[in-house]
Amino acid sequence: MSHDLSNYRKSYEKKELLKSNCPENPIELFRDWFFAADASEMVVESNAMNVSSIGLDGFPKNRIVLLKKYTWEGFIFYTNYNSEKGKAILNNGNVCLSFFWAGLEQQIIIKGKAEKLAENLSDGYFESRPDGSKLGAWASNQSETVNSRKQLDTQLKETSDKFEGKEITRPPHWGGFIVKPISIEFWQGRPNRMHDRIRYTLEEDFSWKMERLAP
């Protein structure tokens, strides 16, 4: 079976990205773009981002997770440290994050080093989660094979019974990663595939070098 997609084309014409209008620190530009995406009816989940890591098998793998916080230091998300994703990142912290807001014709690509978040910060976020999500973090051995959906439902029921009337504490195998960026690229779609690409690269003195890239 084949399906020819060669005639799928879209002209990007909504905005422009000029180097003269970019701040010195890329986190400021990220904040501005994120606020605009979050307020836009054309973006469903503004904090949905792709995380790319190098697996223990040597292959790259991408998956969508939710950004939960960003600071001047980096970008924070949470996961099971024993999952395929968690093990890959703990083994090799070189990761890439990317946001694609199709309705705004924008992408942000972030290369950085992922580190485990401080335990007290993971505790604080875990406490803010709904009880169902807390129980799921205990019940699911993320990325391991299971026999059936019934097995998952049984594990969740057993976990719920175990914590009935008790505080649901954070599992030691669950917590956050902070990705500290070394480069951030902002991509704005433009007509004729002549897209605007502005890349910030972190220098040794912790300043940011800004460059325009060819599309």
> What residues are annotated to the active site?
193
Whether the Cβ atoms of residue 12 and residue 81 lie closer than 8 Å to each other: no
What's the CA gap between 111 and 179, in Å, rounded?
A: 8
Whether the Cβ atoms of residue 108 and residue 187 lie closer than 8 Å to each other: yes
- What is the number of H-type helices and E-type strands within the chain? 5, 9
Identify the DSSP state of 33: H
User: Is residue 99 classed as helix, strand or coil in its secondary structure?
Assistant: strand
- Say what angle helices 131-139 and 149-162 make with each other, to 10 degrees: 120
